Amino acid sequence: MPITRRQSLRCAAGLLLLGTTPFARSARANPRGGVLSLFAGQIGLHGHIDGRGGSATFFDPRGLALDPRNGDIIVADAANALIRRVTASGDVTTLAGGAEQRVSKDGQASQARFVGPDAVAVAPDGTIVIADSYANTIRLLRGGTVSTLAGQAGQPGYADGHGTVAQFNHPVGIALDPQTGDVLVADAYNSTLRRVTAEGKVSTMAGQPGLNGHRDGSMQRALFNTPVGIAVAPDGTIYVSEFFNQDVRKITTQGQVSTLAGNPVQRGDADGQGAAALFRKPQQLCVDATGNVILADGGNHKVRRITPDGSVTTLAGRGQLDKVELGPLPGALITPYGVAPGPQGSILVSSGDAILRIVQNA
């Protein structure tokens, strides 16, 4: 089943602009304190300008990832078909790709091209792994050169195997296994989780291709429905967000799948414990420095925090206001998509053609 927001890069970006109203700087205060602020980009104004903070522009930025070497943030700038870097001080530079030149081409970073990068992950050595979702490939940016690790550009499908023998169908979320260095992929339209080794060998971890459902248990028996986000905790626990199951799943290091939070038969907007919490079209997720899961709850226009035992609270956003409000939390967001740990314990989120920063007071 297609994901409406992702049917066309041009359509998605155009609708975002048409639906955006000027942002305000007022927001109702959160009793716990904290602030939602602009980190980089311009809300409601797209482009591909490098620069500092609000002088830079993006075009439908999606996946975010922390560079473990220096704390920089890597951005999958989807509609621009670029990979960008944002430093802790908000300086934006372009690492690879050609603005709005949506083809699949390997080579030197400035000459390489992407179709529609949706997610990124960064290895300890600085290698950037890219889910070029609209090309149905997994790409690498290493040493100034872009290469294809696995998948057939422009050929959606399902096949395990090595390199270009393997096929994906809209791979969205990616993460790195801290134990093996393998790339873990949320293969959305195949409703499977895939593993890719450093040599490009692709295998299926969990789920059954073409069979959408919700079933917990062993990885061999579990069923998923359009997984779009994947993250790995330091202890090896894997978390997966599902667009159409409206939930977050947990996979232990022993290979057992359970539902951490959300209800696959009921979407909505509710904080709470486990199945009492409700999401609407969740997007990507990450694990913060304290081991909590941070989720971009796209359909509810919120960012949510989920503890390891499944307790859900709202960090930012006040529902479907169709605008961004900066200032005291909770503020307001427009269809948040990617999340990542930010400078000094903050959380970064892509929303409204910009990267926003959430800071909660202790």
The tens digit of pLDDT for each residue in 145-187 reads 999 999 999 999 999 999 999 999 999 999 999 999 999 999 9
* Predicted structure pTM score: 0.91
Contact 308, 302 (CB under 8 A): no
CA distance 348 to 91: 15
Handedness of CA 319, 22, 50, 76 (dihedral sign): positive
Q: Which residues, including other chains, have CB under 8 Å from residue 76's CB and lie 6 or more apart?
A: 61, 62, 63, 64, 83, 117, 118, 119, 120, 130, 131, 338
Using omega within 30 degrees of 0 as the cis cutoff, is the peptide bond preceding 330 cis? yes
The dihedrals phi and psi of 177, each to the nearest 5 degrees, come to -75, 115
Q: How far is CA 158 from CA 6, 77, 152, 161, in A?
A: 19, 26, 10, 10
User: What is the Cα Rg of the chain in Å?
Assistant: 18
Q: In this prediction, what percent of the chain has a pLDDT beyond 70?
A: 91
What would the mean pLDDT of 289-306 be, rounded to a whole number? 97
| Residue in 159, 226, 152 with CA at minimum distance from that of residue 187 | 226
Q: Tell me how crowded residue 127 is: count the other CB atoms within 10 A of its CB.
A: 15
Average pLDDT on 209-215 reads 95
Say what the pLDDT of residue 33 is.
Answer: 83
Assess whether pLDDT exceeds 60 at residue 3: no
Q: DSSP string spanning 100-153?
A: T----B-EETTT-B-S-EEEEEE-TTSPEEEEEGGGTEEEEEETTEEEEEES-T
Cβ within 8 Å of residue 236, ≥6 positions away: 177, 178, 179, 253
Task: Give residue 19's pLDDT.
Answer: 32
Which backbone phi and psi does 182 adopt, to 5 degrees? Answer: -65, 155
Looking at the DSSP bridge assignments, the partners of residue 38 are: 356
Q: Rounded to whole angstroms, what are the CA distances from 298 to 8, 154, 270, 329?
A: 17, 27, 14, 17
- The answer to whether the CB of 315 falls within 8 A of the CB of 360 is yes
